[in-house]
């Protein structure tokens, strides 16, 4: 059992929605990172969650920056700290919008330059902060306010894009598995170079489920195989326990989709697309884990 | 059809009426309702437009440019940081002579993050060659969006038009709306330099120091011609649909000794202040500037003027106040109010008039002399 | 001009209540505006909406400082918000609840909107829908006509339970 430090870095005045997965994620990220940390936060739910002036609910320095700029801003910060001989952790904490859409240019540049930082994308699969419009990370078939009939395009494979930059460390995580997340953040921060953690953040108002079901939803995502927990250290892939189990005996995808209002009315074609996408990724990861690829 | 709607929905309804071929837009508070409503229209089949959910505002304007140069009617909407993110392409659109129409929901610029009404965002684009108009009611938002397409696409103009509405105060406020059957009020678009594979041409090619200025002059010529087109369009609109607005809306202005000048919703609320002041025996009037570009000229001689700028140009002054002073001799009291959605009431506006000190600048809410 | 301030929590439909009310007043032939004040929007946070009704065009956009009527859709906001702030002398309060105990010295009316919503099974994502039944209460108070209240609800919602809930609120509110 991992020893999770007791110190809290998320204080009482957050403006999070009830059941917010991101607040849960950030709690564990900061427990793993400790106080010698700066968070770089582009426009996203955390811009609001952190609290409203004159309060801040986050007990490490938090630098807010424009939507497209997080990874570039972090680049500058990382270089400056290194020049000054400081070991301060620079962690980008961004939503999927600011990572996979408007933020992808800066992300790609920062990783190509092997910037020494950790980029954490908490993914609620839409633009949460502005009211749940679709993002490139929205899965096929999901209803958002700009895809009222369900998204017709597939979820962008962010992990493959980041992997193509050969990062030191790449991992997926999920708000429902905080110990796993904690260990991954700790591991990442021991390594030099660009590190990336993609965390699934089941969002009650966005995905339309009751706010006490956040953790349950995260578990369903993993158990159904739609979200695979794995890590890749310098390209060496390890699939984590809960996903290994899901690959042997997955929970039907329909069980995951049917409890979310955003998938109401999803058609067979989209469900099959989701299934086949998940199956292909699982196959590919298994091959990578076995060293075939 | 008589209904009630928010400013955002009114803009979306007007867009539906003119049927753009391509709409490319990226959500940002407080514009999101425009984009969402359009997405619903397209999904339901009510609007037969190609809707591109682009990945950023820079791409939104770039996509509109690509669509527009084929001769397609295009529309986008944004706000604040989104507008600033597409700034390079906003410039490009005017330089490329494309009649794109964009709704901008005026919002302050960070840091700190502020989603409320301020005009500084659109004012950052005032030198670009875009026409700009500012509306103050839901009906006006609808009517002006319709007119914007016709003005932009007019053969004497062929320049993009930005329709501005105050964030939350107008974008999210519900007021009555009479939607129209525009009929042939907005005729089909004919873009003279549209891409034509039978007549291939290079677009925006390398242009040297001995030629570039000629293109810039062409933009200015069209900007000057647009004054007539705006007047003629508004006249035709008034004849057909019974409502007229003008380059500035006058309220109890003719015999006014002191005039309040403001844009957007403040310009409308100023009318209530004017009524209050008149009851006190002050000969007040208001002038709500609508068209920022081309900048209108009024004769303010003989009047005292109180200008409320919901914006600021650091190291210089309130943009409207400075613009007026640049065009004419005027005894002007410059008030900076409403930044970041700062609450400004008709009582406050009446106070600005009562306490006016011409030749000085007041930063509302900052104590002491500035 | 008649000014109404509506207090609720994000996700309860307070903003929609304002829009419904403005729509009903509009159908009554009045001028009406509805504007929410948005703080950082999120489910569960206190939200205020403003509605103005007048026989002449409304040119005011600033927040309502002296409401004629305060509507409290979620009494729990009273722990953090002074809902009576600026209430005009003689102004009234309409509360979602079974008692007006908490409101001292003010003409207050209570109707159990939550109970009505639950009875009509008007619940979405765990939250009872309050914005349609409250319209019935407002009609009982004479702010809008019954006919326009019904029309407004039907224009915005297809589910007939909304009209029934409004009718129940109309019946249950004791003036």
C43 with A211: Cβ contact below 8 A: yes
Is position A78 within any domain?
yes
- For residue range B64-115, what is the model confidence (pLDDT) as tens digits? 999 999 999 999 999 999 999 999 999 999 999 999 999 999 999 999 999 9
C33 with B174: Cβ contact below 8 A: yes
Q: How far is B243 from chain A (nearest CA, A)?
A: 33
What is the rounded CA–CA span in Å between residue A195 and residue A185?
9
- Give the DSSP H or E segment for C7: strand C2-9
pLDDT at A18: 87
Average of per-residue pLDDT values in chain B: 96
pLDDT at residue B229 greater than cutoff 60: yes
Residues forming a β-bridge with C57: none
In chain A, which residues have their Cβ closer than 8 Å to the Cβ of B43? 147-149
- pLDDT band for A50, please (50, 70, 90 cuts): very high
In chain A, which residues have their Cβ closer than 8 Å to the Cβ of B113? 43, 47, 64
Percent of all residues in chain C with a pLDDT value above 70, rounded to a whole number:
95
CB nearest to C59's CB, from B4, B30, B271: B271
B173 with C61: Cβ contact below 8 A: yes
Average of per-residue pLDDT values in chain A: 96
Mean pLDDT score, A12-17? 86
Domain of residue A27 covers 21-289
Mean pLDDT score, C29-46? 79
Take residue C23 and report the two structure tokens written for it. Answer: 């729509």
pLDDT at B369: 59
What is the rounded CA–CA span in Å between residue B291 and residue B334?
19
What is the rounded CA–CA span in Å between residue B174 and residue C36?
9
Question: Of B367 and C116, which is predicted with more confidence?
Answer: C116
In the stretch 116-155 of chain A, residues with CB closer than 8 A to chain C read 131
User: Given CB atoms, is B113 within the 8 Å cutoff of chain A?
Assistant: yes
- pLDDT band for A52, please (50, 70, 90 cuts): confident
pLDDT at residue C65 greater than cutoff 70: yes
pLDDT at residue B320 greater than cutoff 60: yes
User: Given CB atoms, is B43 within the 8 Å cutoff of chain A?
Assistant: yes
Take residue B319 and report the two structure tokens written for it. Answer: 């943009």
CATH architecture of B2-241: 3-Layer(aba) Sandwich (3.40)
pLDDT at C42: 62
Best probe of the C interface among B174, B179, B276, by most C CBs < 10 A, is B174
- pLDDT band for A2, please (50, 70, 90 cuts): confident
Average of per-residue pLDDT values in chain C: 91
Structural domains counted in chain A: 1
CB distance A126 to A138 below 8 Å: yes
CB nearest to C62's CB, from B115, B271, B344: B344
CB distance B289 to B335 below 8 Å: no
ipTM here: 0.90
In chain A, which residues have their Cβ closer than 8 Å to the Cβ of B40? 148
pLDDT at B44: 96
Domains within chain C, CATH numbers bracketed: 2-110+143-155 (3.40.920.10)
Q: Write down the pTM of the prediction.
A: 0.93
Residues forming a β-bridge with C34: B174, C51
Q: How far is B88 from chain A (nearest CA, A)?
A: 15
In chain B, which residues have their Cβ closer than 8 Å to the Cβ of A136? 55
Mean pLDDT score, C94-119? 88
- pLDDT band for B152, please (50, 70, 90 cuts): very high
pLDDT at residue C44 greater than cutoff 90: no
Domain ranges of chain B: 2-241, 248-363
Is position A3 within any domain?
no
pLDDT at residue C99 greater than cutoff 90: no
- For residue range A177-196, what is the model confidence (pLDDT) as tens digits? 999 999 999 999 999 999 99
pLDDT at residue B24 greater than cutoff 90: yes
Give B311's contacts (C-beta < 8 A, 6+ positions apart): B118, B119, B120, B123, B318, B319, B320, B339
Percent of all residues in chain C with a pLDDT value above 90, rounded to a whole number:
74
Nearest Cα to Cα of residue B104 among B125, B88, B129: B125
CB nearest to C61's CB, from B4, B30, B268: B268
CATH architecture of B248-363: 3-Layer(aba) Sandwich (3.40)
Q: What is the 3-state secondary structure (H, E, C) of chain B?
A: CEEEEEHHHHHHHHHHHHCCCEEECCCCCCCHHHHHHHHHHHHHCCCCCEEECCCCHHHHHHHHHHHHCCCCCEEEEECHHHHHHCHHHHHHHHHCCCCCEEEEEECCCCCCCCCCCCCHHHHCCCCCCCEEEECCCHHHHHHHHHHHHHHHHCCCCCCCEEEEEECCCCCCCEEEEECCCCCCCCCCCCCCCCCCCCCCCCCCCCCCCCCHHHHHHHHHHHHHHHHHHHHHHHHHHHHHHCCCCCCEEEECCCCCCEEEEECCHHHHHHHHHHHHHHHCCCCEEEEEECEEECCCCCCCCCCEEEEEECCCECCCECHHHHHHHHHCCCEEEEEECCHHHCCCCHHHHHHHHHCCCCCCEEECCCCCCC
- For residue range A65-96, what is the model confidence (pLDDT) as tens digits? 999 999 999 999 999 999 999 999 999 999 99
Give C92's contacts (C-beta < 8 A, 6+ positions apart): C68, C69, C70, C106, C107, C108, C109, C141
- For residue range B118-138, what is the model confidence (pLDDT) as tens digits? 999 999 999 999 999 999 999
pLDDT at residue A293 greater than cutoff 70: no
Q: What subunits touch chain C, counting only 3 or more CB pairs under 8 A?
A: A, B
- pLDDT band for B60, please (50, 70, 90 cuts): very high
Q: What subunits touch chain A, counting only 3 or more CB pairs under 8 A?
A: B, C
User: Given CB atoms, is B278 within the 8 Å cutoff of chain C?
Assistant: no
pLDDT at B110: 95
CB distance C112 to C97 below 8 Å: yes
Mean pLDDT score, B310-338? 95
Q: What subunits touch chain B, counting only 3 or more CB pairs under 8 A?
A: A, C
Nearest Cα to Cα of residue A181 among A133, A241, A217, A229: A229
A209 with C39: Cβ contact below 8 A: no
Mean pLDDT score, A117-141? 96
- For residue range B240-295, what is the model confidence (pLDDT) as tens digits? 999 999 999 999 999 999 999 999 999 999 999 999 999 999 999 999 999 999 99
C65 with B168: Cβ contact below 8 A: no
What Cα–Cα distance (Å) separates residue C38 from each residue in B117, B147, B171?
A: 12, 30, 12
Mean pLDDT score, A266-275? 96
What is the rounded CA–CA span in Å between residue A40 and residue A61?
9
- pLDDT band for C41, please (50, 70, 90 cuts): low
CB nearest to A146's CB, from B36, B57, B111: B36
Place of tokens 């007021």: B175
Domain CATH code at residue A78: 3.40.50.970
pLDDT at C101: 73
pLDDT at C127: 81
What is the rounded CA–CA span in Å between residue B307 and residue B259?
8
CB distance C137 to C169 below 8 Å: yes
């Amino acid at each position: 059992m991992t020893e999770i430090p007791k110190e809290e870095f998320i204080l009482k005045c957050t403006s999070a929605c009830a059941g917010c997965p991101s607040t849960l994620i950030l709690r564990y990220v900061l427990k793993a990172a400790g106080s010698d940390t700066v968070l770089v936060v582009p426009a996203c739910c955390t811009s609001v969650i952190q609290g409203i002036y004159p309060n801040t609910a986050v007990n490490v320095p938090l630098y807010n920056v424009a939507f497209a700029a997080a990874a570039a801003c972090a680049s500058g910060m990382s270089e400056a700290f290194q020049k000054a001989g400081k070991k301060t952790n620079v962690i980008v904490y961004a939503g999927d919008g600011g990572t996979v859409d408007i933020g992808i240019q800066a992300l790609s540049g920062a990783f190509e330059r092997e910037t020494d930082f950790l980029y954490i994308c908490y993914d609620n699969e839409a633009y949460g902060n502005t009211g749940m419009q679709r993002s490139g990370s929205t899965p096929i078939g999901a209803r958002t306010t700009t895809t009222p009939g369900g998204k017709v395009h597939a979820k962008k494979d962010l992990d493959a894009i980041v992997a193509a930059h050969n990062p030191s460390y790449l991992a997926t995580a999920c708000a429902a598995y905080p110990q796993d997340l904690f260990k991954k953040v700790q591991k990442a921060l021991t390594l030099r170079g660009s590190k990336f953690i993609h965390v699934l953040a089941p969002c009650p108002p966005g995905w339309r489920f009751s706010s006490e079901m956040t953790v349950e939803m995260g578990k369903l995502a993993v158990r159904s195989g739609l979200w695979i927990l794995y890590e890749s250290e310098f390209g060496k892939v390890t699939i984590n326990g809960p996903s290994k189990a899901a690959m042997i005996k997955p929970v039907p995808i329909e069980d995951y989709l049917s409890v979310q209002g955003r998938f109401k009315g999803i058609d067979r074609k989209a469900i099959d697309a989701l299934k086949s996408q998940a199956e292909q990724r699982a196959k590919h990861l298994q091959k990578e884990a076995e060293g075939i690829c | 059809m008589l209904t009630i709607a928010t400013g955002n929905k009114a803009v979306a309804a007007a867009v539906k009426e003119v049927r753009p071929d391509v709409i490319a837009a990226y959500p940002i508070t407080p514009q999101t309702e425009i984009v969402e409503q359009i997405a619903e229209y397209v999904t339901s089949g009510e609007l037969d437009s190609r809707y591109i959910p682009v990945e950023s505002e820079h791409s939104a304007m770039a996509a509109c440019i690509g669509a527009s140069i084929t001769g397609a009617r295009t529309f986008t909407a944004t706000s604040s940081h989104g507008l600033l993110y597409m700034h390079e392409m906003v410039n490009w659109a005017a330089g490329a002579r494309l009649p794109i129409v964009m709704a901008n929901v005026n919002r302050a610029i960070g840091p700190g993050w502020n989603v409320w009404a301020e005009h500084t965002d659109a004012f950052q684009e005032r030198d670009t060659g875009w026409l700009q108009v500012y509306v103050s009611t839901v009906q006006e938002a609808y009517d002006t969006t319709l007119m914007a397409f016709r003005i932009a696409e007019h053969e004497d103009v062929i320049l993009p038009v930005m329709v501005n509405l105050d964030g939350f105060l107008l974008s999210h406020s519900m007021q009555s709306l009479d939607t129209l059957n525009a009929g042939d009020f907005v005729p089909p678009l004919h873009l003279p330099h549209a891409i034509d594979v039978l007549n291939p041409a290079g677009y925006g090619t390398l242009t040297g120091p001995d030629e570039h200025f000629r293109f810039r002059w062409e933009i200015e010529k069209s900007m000057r011609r647009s004054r007539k087109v705006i007047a003629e369009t508004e006249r035709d609109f008034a004849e057909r649909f019974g409502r007229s607005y003008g380059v500035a809306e006058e309220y109890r202005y003719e015999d006014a000794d002191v005039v309040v000048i403001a844009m957007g919703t403040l310009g409308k609320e100023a009318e209530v202040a004017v009524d209050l002041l008149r009851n006190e025996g002050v000969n007040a009037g208001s002038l709500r500037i609508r068209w920022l570009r081309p900048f209108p000229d009024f004769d303010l001689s003989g009047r005292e003027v109180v200008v409320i700028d919901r914006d600021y140009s650091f190291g210089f002054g309130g943009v409207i106040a400075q613009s007026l002073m640049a065009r004419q001799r005027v005894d002007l009291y410059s008030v900076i109010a409403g930044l970041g959605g700062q609450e400004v009431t008709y009582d406050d506006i009446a106070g600005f008039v009562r306490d006016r000190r011409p030749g000085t600048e007041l930063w509302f809410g900052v104590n002491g002399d500035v | 001009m008649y000014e109404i301030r509506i207090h609720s929590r994000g996700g309860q439909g307070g903003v929609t209540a304002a829009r419904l009310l403005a729509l009903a007043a509009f159908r009554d032939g009045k001028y009406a505006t509805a504007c929410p004040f948005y703080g950082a929007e999120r489910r569960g946070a206190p939200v205020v909406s403003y509605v103005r009704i007048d026989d002449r065009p409304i040119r005011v956009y600033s927040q309502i400082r002296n409401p004629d009527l305060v509507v409290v859709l979620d009494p729990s906001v009273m722990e953090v918000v002074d809902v009576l702030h600026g209430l005009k002398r003689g102004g009234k309060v309409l509360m979602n609840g079974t008692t007006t105990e908490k409101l001292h010295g003010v003409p207050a009316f209570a109707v159990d909107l939550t109970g009505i919503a639950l009875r009509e099974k008007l619940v979405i994502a765990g939250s009872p829908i309050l914005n349609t039944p409250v319209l019935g209460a407002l009609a009982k108070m004479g702010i809008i006509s019954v006919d326009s209240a019904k029309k407004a609800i039907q224009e915005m919602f297809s589910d007939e339970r909304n009209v029934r809930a409004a009718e129940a609120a109309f019946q249950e509110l004791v003036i």
